[in-house]
Amino acid sequence: MTNESVRRIAPEERTVSDPIAGQTREVAVATDRMWCGIVRAAGRDVTPWHHHGDHSTIAFVVSGTKRLEFGAGGRHDVEASPGDFLFIPSGAVHRESNPSDDETGTIAFRVGTGPPTVGVDGPGDDDAVVRRITPDDRTQGDPTPGMVREEAVAAEGIWSGFVRTASGAVSGWHHHGANESAVYVLAGAMRIESGPGGQEVVDLGPDDFCYIPPGIVHRESNPADVESNVVVVRAGSGPPTTNVRGPERSSGDGE
């Protein structure tokens, strides 16, 4: 059992971090193995060439268009639109640009250790492949009653997907084992109950992040009158989700 709790990170709590020309990065969660936040790029902005060291990176495009150049000599490129995920392998040298006149907004999650961004002089000579995952490419994720999980990325030490919860729906109790989770609410509302007897409640709305430590038994519900949509990334090992019968016992429950 962990002494940590589920934590909401409101927009005003994010801080500017990990600077690079051509982007503004606002960090919401930073742990020993996970970094996540909002990345904004003004119209026509282009970043320098860089990589993310030991970190694998998942990006989810919220608004605008995101273009990445990568591979030996920078000869490959991919463009992503709202609803698309991008998977950038650790050490893959790339640069990012916004080919439109409108601002691009992206949710970025990095999983690994060491510096989250390393600048370099130019494109690399590696054969790393940046992968785009469209909404149609997502597959059914690990099931929990009361919610629909769509898997976008599943690689060693990292899992990411899109979760839908209908208005008024309540999930079953579950935990994520040795995996820590970061959540970003795109639309609707999300309520997370955890702690002894499920008495600790965190309410989330659009543009909120949430951090769920490993091993925390919880359930999620949607108290709003519209479907909730959230983006989730987990960092760790072992099964990403374990369903259980109920919440952690309170001190008055006895043995």
- CB neighbour list of residue 239: distance below 8 Å, 6 or more residues apart: 142, 177
Q: Specify whether 20 is located in the same domain as 108.
A: yes
Q: Specify whether 156 is located in the same domain as 107.
A: no
Q: Specify whether 12 is located in the same domain as 130.
A: yes
Q: How far is CA 33 from the centre of its chain?
A: 13
Q: Specify whether 208 is located in the same domain as 151.
A: yes
CB atoms within 10 A of CB 6: 20
Residue 2 belongs to some domain of the structure: no
Q: Is the pTM of this model over 0.75?
A: yes
The predicted pLDDT at position 22 comes to 96
Q: Which structure tokens are listed for 223?
A: 């108290």
The predicted pLDDT at position 1 comes to 44
Asked whether the beta carbons of 4 and 63 are under 8 A apart, the reply is no
Q: Specify whether 114 is located in the same domain as 155.
A: no
Domain that holds residue 40: 8-135
The predicted pLDDT at position 127 comes to 85
CB atoms within 10 A of CB 125: 9
The predicted pLDDT at position 251 comes to 62
Q: Specify whether 48 is located in the same domain as 151.
A: no
Amino acid identity, position 61: V
Q: Specify whether 83 is located in the same domain as 150.
A: no
Last residue of a domain, one of 83, 104, 135: 135
The predicted pLDDT at position 3 comes to 67
Note the pLDDT tens digit of each residue in 172-224.
999 999 999 999 999 999 999 999 999 999 999 999 999 999 999 999 999 99
Q: Specify whether 75 is located in the same domain as 182.
A: no
Q: Please report, for the domain that includes residue 80, its CATH number.
A: 2.60.120.10
* Virtual torsion, Cα 70, 76, 81, 82, nearest 10 deg: -30
How many independent structural domains does the chain possess? 2
Whole-angstrom distance, CA of residue 230 vs CA of residue 207: 10
Residue 1 belongs to some domain of the structure: no
The predicted pLDDT at position 126 comes to 83
Residue 146 belongs to some domain of the structure: yes
Q: How far is CA 91 from the centre of its chain?
A: 19
Whole-angstrom distance, CA of residue 135 vs CA of residue 238: 26
Q: Specify whether 156 is located in the same domain as 176.
A: yes
The predicted pLDDT at position 195 comes to 95
Q: Specify whether 18 is located in the same domain as 117.
A: yes
- CB neighbour list of residue 156: distance below 8 Å, 6 or more residues apart: none
Give pLDDT tens digits along the chain (255 positions). Answer: 456 899 999 999 999 988 899 999 999 999 999 999 999 999 999 999 999 999 999 999 999 999 999 999 999 999 999 999 999 999 999 999 999 999 999 999 999 999 999 999 999 998 889 999 999 999 999 899 999 999 999 998 999 999 999 999 999 999 999 999 999 999 999 999 999 999 999 999 999 999 999 999 999 999 999 999 999 999 999 998 999 999 988 765 544
Q: Specify whether 12 is located in the same domain as 131.
A: yes
Asked whether the beta carbons of 9 and 57 are under 8 A apart, the reply is no
The predicted pLDDT at position 2 comes to 54
- 3-state SS assignment for residue 42: coil
Residue 174 belongs to some domain of the structure: yes
Residue 254 belongs to some domain of the structure: no
Q: Specify whether 156 is located in the same domain as 124.
A: no
Q: Which residue has the tokens 């490959």?
A: 76
The predicted pLDDT at position 250 comes to 72
Last residue of a domain, one of 110, 135, 160: 135
Instruction: Give me the residues paired with residue 36 across strands.
Output: 29, 109
